[in-house]
Amino acid sequence: MIKTTFYRLFSIFSYLLLFTSCTAANQNLSAWNPDEAQFFDDSIDIIEDYNNLSGQWEFDAKEEFNGRSNLADIIAIVNITSIQTSQDNSGKEEKRIEMLVTKFIYGTLESNDIVLATNAESKSYTLIMRYEKNLKGEHLLFLRRFKTSEGYGEHFHISPASDKLKNSVRELVEKRIEAESKPIN
């Protein structure tokens, strides 16, 4: 309960203070916050309606969805066009997910083409591999950008683009934008 309250307060505080611009490409990025890893895990989920869950599973899924919606620099409806196995710079196997943004819900990027990757050592790699054939098509992308010594990095989470989730994220983003437009005293 304390952990959940902390994350809820952290989410509200973070988006009120840090996200004053909807354009991620021009935003002053902060360093990666490891506490956000539960929201941006370089993975996917396949749950189209969190109300179909129950108990702690439902509570946790809704909290994570709310956290992503309030912390993501970019929220978009994307069309996943390709998933490929390749190697990263250090020679480790990774899954590269290529997608095209069909609609930005929050934030913008200079290009509608996005390529994200998750390496074989990641817990999410197996999940992406398992559902690879079902991932092509429309999804919700939650993208978190952060400052690195080389420029910037990204972590992400991909959810189904069900009508239920698209409506929920739109409602949360409307509240977020309204809160961001209020002056901070």
pLDDT digits (tens, 9 = 90+) for 53-92: 999 999 999 999 999 999 999 999 999 999 999 888 888 8
pLDDT (average), residues 37-49: 92
Which band of pLDDT confidence, cut at 50, 70 and 90, is reported for residue 27? low
Residue 29 lies in a domain: no
Quote the DSSP letter at residue 37.
G
What per-residue confidence (pLDDT) applies to 8? 42
Show the tokens assigned to 86.
Answer: 């390749």
CA–CA separation, 149 and 169 (whole Å): 32
List, in sequence order, every residue forming a beta bridge with 160; answer none if it has no partner. 139
Residue 121 lies in a domain: yes
> Angle formed by the axes of helices 163-181 and 2-18, to 10°?
60
Residue 21 lies in a domain: no
What per-residue confidence (pLDDT) applies to 18? 34
pLDDT (average), residues 135-163: 94
Residue 27 lies in a domain: no
Say what percent of the chain tops pLDDT 90.
Answer: 57
What per-residue confidence (pLDDT) applies to 150? 85
pTM above 0.85, yes or no: no
| Residues 138, 105 contacting (CB under 8 angstroms) | no
Which of 78, 64, 137 minimizes the C-alpha distance to 107? 78
Residue 24 lies in a domain: no
The enclosing domain of 141 has a CATH number of 2.40.50.120
pLDDT above 80 for 13: no
> 108 to each of 27, 65, 102, how far by Cα in Å?
10, 20, 12
Quote the DSSP letter at residue 96.
E
What per-residue confidence (pLDDT) applies to 119? 87
122: burial class by Cβ within 10 Å (0-12, 13-18, 19+)? Answer: middle
pLDDT (average), residues 91-120: 94
| Residues 125, 117 contacting (CB under 8 angstroms) | no
Question: Looking at per-residue confidence, does 103 or 149 come out higher?
Answer: 103
What per-residue confidence (pLDDT) applies to 10? 39
Residue 28 lies in a domain: no
Domain that residue 98 falls in: 2-16+34-181
* pLDDT tens per residue, range 160-171: 999 999 999 999
What per-residue confidence (pLDDT) applies to 90? 85
Residue 116 lies in a domain: yes
What per-residue confidence (pLDDT) applies to 185? 57
Number of domains in the chain: 1
pLDDT above 60 for 21: no
